[in-house]
Copies of this chain bind each other. A is one copy, B any other.
Amino acid sequence: MSIDQNDLRVIKTKRGLREAFIRLLLEKGYDAISIQDIATEAEAARVTFYRHYKNKEELLIDCIDVIYENHARLTGQASNEEFRQGYSPMLAVYKQLKEDGKIFRVLSNSHAGQLLTKRLIQLFAERIQVQIEERFPKEQLLAPVEIIAYHVASAQIGLVNWWIENDQPYSPEYMARISFWLSLAGSARGFGLENISVLPPEYPTRFQN
């Protein structure tokens, strides 16, 4: 009847299609890729593609989901201690991208970029919102918590994009620290903290790469 997603053949085939698709995106860009291209590159029959995906876009979504899960898994590990140290969960992201930033870049410049960025921002905003709500009473906030969270998340993910597109000019540690502090200083105001000196003492006098 329906296809068994746990079958080894299915797992192999789908992974093959995903990886072939990514490679082709590097070469030709999204529009120029035909289903036959993908199948050929993956050394599979064209019919096989249609057994797993309705069309190109569905394969694209699947690719994003896989990357998204990797990110979520990585960033989910960041400890509260890391957060206080000013490294934030972003460090894990920067570190991963330092290695396989190529795939991220390809997706980022393709049809996928929109979906990928959107989902990452969504994920981070949700986490940030929880963190804010845990630490600050609602009445203290100058603005709705959603807005603050989304503002911070957009800034952080946006900076990641900038870093990737500018060939990673600074170290992951440097980027994570700056990203964290710029956001925290901004949102501290949003939290209703009149005196910004309540921030942890580790706030650096000057960032060094």
Contacts and interface: CB of A to CB of B under 8 A. Distances in A.
Interface stretch (A42-50, A77-85, A187-195): A187-195
A159 to B, nearest CB: 5
Nearest to A56: B31
Interface range on chain A (Cβ under 8 Å from partner): 35 or more
Contact of A154 (B109, B110, B155): B155
Interface class of chain A by DSSP = helix
B182 A148 contact: yes
B178 A143 contact: yes
Contacts of A150: 158-159, 162
Interface of A: 29-31, 55-57, 108-111, 113-114, 117-118, 121, 142-143, 146-148, 150-155, 157-159, 161-162, 175, 178-179, 181-190, 192, 196, 204-207
